[in-house]
Structure 1
Amino acid sequence: MNKQTVLNYHNRTKHSLERYAKGPESIDWEDQPDQFRRFSGCEIVTLPLPGAELEPLFADLDNPELIPSKPLDMANVGLLLELAFGLSAWKQFGPSRWALRCNPSSGNLHPTEAYLISTGDDRNRSRRVSGIHTIPGDNFIKSGVYHYVSHDHSLEQRCRFSDNLPDSGILIGLSSVHWREAWKYGERAFRYCQHDLGHALGALRYAAATLGWSVELQAEWSDDDIAKLLGLDRDDFKKLEHESPDIICRINTHADSKPLDIKALLEAAQSGDWFGKADSLRAYHMYKWPIIDEVSTAASKPQTEESEWLAVQQPIIKSSCTKTATEIIRQRRSAQQFDGKMTPLPQTDFYRMLAAVLPTTAAFELWRWPPKIHLFIFVHRVEGLAPGIYALPRHNDALESLQAATLADFDWQKVSEAIPLYHLHSGDCRQIAKTLSCHQPIASDSAFSLGMVAEFGETIEAAPWLYRRLFWECGLIGQTLYLEAEAAGLRGTGIGCYFDDSVHELLGFKDDKFQSLYHFTVGKPLEDKRLETLPAYGHLDDVV
């Protein structure tokens, strides 16, 4: 039943040339949900002012094991949260002003919420970890659950653990407010929330690597247990504005810490003191989308035993970027339009971007499973490559099944020894790419655009909740491409609007064995000179 509900949702929310998936008939901008969730009645933990620069270059992140680990202190915890989920800038046009963040989001609506969980005996940690404090006189983050407010760069203490736990360092919990996306995108919004969760995982991985830390996905957890730990199952939320649990991540700072005791952690949350109520997101909820609740329930994850898929790290095409990692992370933007007459993208930069999304690279060290997402690329303007359609299978075992599922006319000629890139068809595909991506010029005016194709049918057959994980993998690829585009002096944009089955027809897919789940495009951006760019946290300068 759950599997069929997920499949029905997926098929129902496909866009087609004849019709778009169900969405609001009109957009009431006064009804837009607040981007910044706050909980009233919580103790506020003010983090050190953001914006500090770190030494590692963006190119250094290819070898994160060589980056010295920063100490676990308040400043570095703040940097982790800022670089992963914080503001990157403000934009202003006339009286309108809106924030941009380091983690990208469909429509800049930001359904993803982040929580920090601090563990350990507070008295012992106060002697061992310097610089972490919450209120005058303390020098540590007290054990408990905290909600991160990106606007204020602060933490709200939602729960204070009453039990002393083994010091397992810090955890990051992620959840989604589906309504934030549904307000604009209607029924298809559940897909976009999952993309954004993948973006957030990628942003967290890059932020941690910049500090010399790493991220471990706690994939065994059930959604119910995540909800209990983060307080999402409590009656602290306005109707229709609840959060759905997604993932718990453990931050490995390479300091001494104990194994994570999930049972003890959940017991501490259940017996702890909880504070605060979620403020209203100030939306009227003019439209209701019950199918999102239905698919969310059907795709709910139980507790599982997860095997570890260990990719053998391979040499990566070296990055030529000389900027620091923090600079690249903070300058990431989504391009609104591209220069359709750009000079061809150097082939070395193109190959570097594609190499960076392979599962054997450091960017995917947190991903615990065999890759299920493969790229089909519309090359428009790349030096030394004929315009046309190309494919990048992200593991060798998929090559034969992809060849069998696609058009017989595709020649599948390998064009590079450095990466598994295959030529399929030569020709000017700019108009095709534009049409398939809901007639958007960003798909044709770029250097290249692509579709992320999932090993779909068998994955959903195995477990319906893996539907979400397929989109997470897409978002992780997207975040990597976003940063690689910036490092190459270009800009990327994720594309959630495309005509699903028209893409499948073009490639030759005849059933649900493979499905396209996300599109992306990279090119030379055209900046809108009418917009003023303001500092990310200039509004905090006057706060004492």
Structure 2
Amino acid sequence: MKNIPAVLEYHDRTKHRPSRYAASLGYMDWATQPDPFRRYENAPLIALKFNDNTPPYHLLFEPNLLPEAPLCIESLSQLLRYSLGLAAIKSHGGSEWALRCNASSGNLHPTECYLILPPIAGLNESTSLTHYAPKEHALELLYRYHESIGEDTFLIALSSIIWREAWKYGERCWRYCQLDAGHAAASIRISAAMLGWECTLIAADSSEISALCGLDQCARYDVHERESPDLLFQIRRGTLNKPSLPSLIESPANRLSHSHHHWPILETIDAATQGSYPSPIRLKQKRRTPPPSKSSGEIVLKRRSAQMMDGSSITMEQFRQMLDASLYCQDTADVHFVLFVHRIEGLEKGLYICIRDPDELQSLQNAMDPAFEWFDCTEGLYRLQKGDYRGAAQMISCNQEIAKDGAFSFGMLCRFFESLERDGAIGYKNLYHQCGMIGQILYLEATSLGLSATGIGCFLDDEFHALLGLQDQRYQSLYHFTIGRAVIDMRIATYQPYTH
């Protein structure tokens, strides 16, 4: 518990307020923009083949329905292609930029992926540590182990290059790095489900992840561009042995920027939130199987962050399906939705709450404005107050019009102080991971319904809390979102990423 004061100080310090946003440079220093792709010098690069044969999206949510694919280089390629690979190349005005399958704040992508794999034909003859290079859709071979991990299972570790987000967002960026790690985690789970594979979060210690991937070998990294360990997953069932790195990895990391701006608070919060990752608290209810839909791979590759919404409505069925989709993220019981309902057919405009853990109802009622009506709309949805909240939604979302032009927007209200007491300072990181996981699933669900979504990291924290009548830190909002129909910018050209 010793690091909780550091968490509370960082959380309060990096809140956006009407008169003062969290500290950042306040301008774009294009000369120091980080390279979006991590590479390791002298590491052999193993190209991965493409496989576009993916099951229908709706079947991913039916347990044990899809056959389990064998562990081979082709299935491994598909796992990475539809989780962390490139989704498209965009071009406008002589500039090009890559979009990836996993959503990221500002498209800056701080998350890196490492795999510890058993021997696989065409890839490696022994247990190996590899790094995924999404630009090339390839694996960089970093280390060959002398010990076995097991035959039919492997590990995926995620880390964050905090500098990639600090370059643009300054002190608040650590929040966005954790949200992005959550997005990446959900992307891996969905891609694993396409192959009929289990994806299990391991309650590992941060130091264990660093040692497994060589992230603690600091001399291999620029001092400002070191990677912070985030999450560890076991993919597929099987007896697992975690190998160790007995010697130095000879491949140093590429330098992403020629100079850097130092934000000391980021080192403080990152150090405070290292430790043993908490075991998840699972939701009591599960999502229903959605109606038949398109290929899961097609939906993943079409996912986009909308820049503008057209102000049109959606149906009640679409709205309910979006809320239900979040239940796929079973280990996100600490998160509820406070919704600004603007244009949902059959549902009055107003302020609503979706309680994803029914046991929290009384606690939330006690914490929030006693004047709220708490009208039961069934299935965990309650109307707090009727009215037009479009102006409030825009104001709270740093005056971004997209929050009022969607069919609805919402804040993810988290069980904050109890999580810190239960899990320690690393529980703060875990809450952001939960929000990011939910966000990625909602992106995909919106795409499957022909809708669009956008994650909103810029919001006025305490103005939102005041609107709800919250008086303390039992609950805090950590991520905002809006869903509707996007306005497409026809000036921007789109290309296939690996043939362009």
TM-score (norm 1): 0.89
Q: 1:323 aligns with which of 294, 306, 311?
A: 294
Instruction: In structure 2, give the amino acid aligned to 1:297.
Output: A
Cα separation, 2, equivalents of 1:307 and 1:245: 17
Cα separation, 2, equivalents of 1:310 and 1:449: 25
Listed as ranges, the matches of 1:484-503 within 5 Å are 484-503=445-464
Cα separation, 2, equivalents of 1:393 and 1:276: 48
Correspondence for 2:159: 175
Cα separation, 2, equivalents of 1:496 and 1:432: 16
Correspondence for 2:324: 355
Structure 1 residues 89-133: Cα deviation after superposition (integer angstroms, max 9, x where no partner): 0100021100000000000000000011113xx4xxx6xxxxx31
**Alpha carbons of structure 1 residues 432 and 200: separation in structure 2 relative to 1, 3 Å:** same
Instruction: In structure 1, give the amino acid aligned to 2:199.
Output: V
How far residue 312 of structure 1 moved from its aligned partner, in angstroms, is 5.0
Asked if 1:207 corresponds to 2:195, the answer is no
How far residue 311 of structure 1 moved from its aligned partner, in angstroms, is 4.7
Listed as ranges, the matches of 1:187-336 within 5 Å are 187-219=171-203, 221-234=204-217, 235-252=219-236, 257=238, 259-262=239-242, 265-266=243-244, 269-271=245-247, 274-285=249-260, 287-302=261-276, 309=281, 311-312=283-284, 314=286, 316=288, 318-336=289-307
Contact 2:160 2:229 in 1 (8 A): yes
Correspondence for 1:467: 428
Asked if 1:456 corresponds to 2:416, the answer is yes
Correspondence for 1:542: none
1:25 aligned counterpart, secondary structure: coil
Correspondence for 1:530: 491
Contact 2:307 2:486 in 1 (8 A): yes
Structure 1 residues 284-315: Cα deviation after superposition (integer angstroms, max 9, x where no partner): 21x2111001000011113x7x6565555546
Cα separation, 2, equivalents of 1:69 and 1:313: 25
How far residue 163 of structure 1 moved from its aligned partner, in angstroms, is 2.6
Instruction: In structure 2, give the amino acid aligned to 1:408.
Output: P
Cα separation, 1, equivalents of 2:287 and 2:37: 41
Contact 1:321 1:487 in 2 (8 A): no
Correspondence for 1:129: none
Cα separation, 1, equivalents of 2:287 and 2:142: 44
How far residue 158 of structure 1 moved from its aligned partner, in angstroms, is 1.1
Instruction: In structure 1, give the amino acid aligned to 2:450.
Output: G
Instruction: In structure 2, give the amino acid aligned to 1:228.
Output: A
Task: Give the share of equivalent positions with the same residue, in percent.
Answer: 42
How far residue 5 of structure 1 moved from its aligned partner, in angstroms, is 0.6
Cα separation, 2, equivalents of 1:217 and 1:202: 11
Asked if 1:76 corresponds to 2:56, the answer is no
Listed as ranges, the matches of 1:99-114 within 5 Å are 99-114=98-113
1:345 aligned counterpart, secondary structure: coil
Cα separation, 1, equivalents of 2:181 and 2:253: 21
2:141 aligned counterpart, secondary structure: strand
Asked if 1:156 corresponds to 2:140, the answer is yes
Asked if 1:364 corresponds to 2:363, the answer is no
Asked if 1:345 corresponds to 2:314, the answer is yes
Cα separation, 2, equivalents of 1:21 and 1:230: 33
Cα separation, 2, equivalents of 1:187 and 1:311: 32
How far residue 62 of structure 1 moved from its aligned partner, in angstroms, is 1.7
Cα separation, 2, equivalents of 1:279 and 1:404: 52
How far residue 167 of structure 1 moved from its aligned partner, in angstroms, is 2.9
Structure 1 residues 348-370: Cα deviation after superposition (integer angstroms, max 9, x where no partner): 11001101113xxxx225x3xx6
Instruction: In structure 1, give the amino acid aligned to 2:186.
Output: G
How far residue 274 of structure 1 moved from its aligned partner, in angstroms, is 2.5
Number of matched pairs: 497
Instruction: In structure 2, give the amino acid aligned to 1:332.
Output: R
Cα separation, 1, equivalents of 2:257 and 2:361: 49
Asked if 1:381 corresponds to 2:357, the answer is no
Asked if 1:406 corresponds to 2:368, the answer is yes
Cα separation, 2, equivalents of 1:454 and 1:427: 24
Asked if 1:59 corresponds to 2:58, the answer is yes
Query: Over the residues paired in the alignment, what is the CA RMSD in angstroms?
Result: 1.6
1:277 aligned counterpart, secondary structure: coil
**Alpha carbons of structure 1 residues 504 and 53: separation in structure 2 relative to 1, 3 Å:** same
Correspondence for 2:122: 133
Cα separation, 1, equivalents of 2:468 and 2:143: 51
Instruction: In structure 1, give the amino acid aligned to 2:225.
Output: E
Task: In structure 2, list runs of 5 or more residues that go unmatched.
Answer: none
1:27 aligned counterpart, secondary structure: coil
How far residue 321 of structure 1 moved from its aligned partner, in angstroms, is 4.8
Correspondence for 1:3: 4
Instruction: In structure 1, give the amino acid aligned to 2:420.
Output: I
Task: In structure 1, list runs of 5 or more residues that go unmatched.
Answer: 127-131, 135-139, 540-544
2:384 aligned counterpart, secondary structure: strand
How far residue 322 of structure 1 moved from its aligned partner, in angstroms, is 2.1
Cα separation, 2, equivalents of 1:208 and 1:307: 21
Structure 1 residues 350-395: Cα deviation after superposition (integer angstroms, max 9, x where no partner): 001101113xxxx225x3xx61111100000101000111101111
How far residue 324 of structure 1 moved from its aligned partner, in angstroms, is 0.9
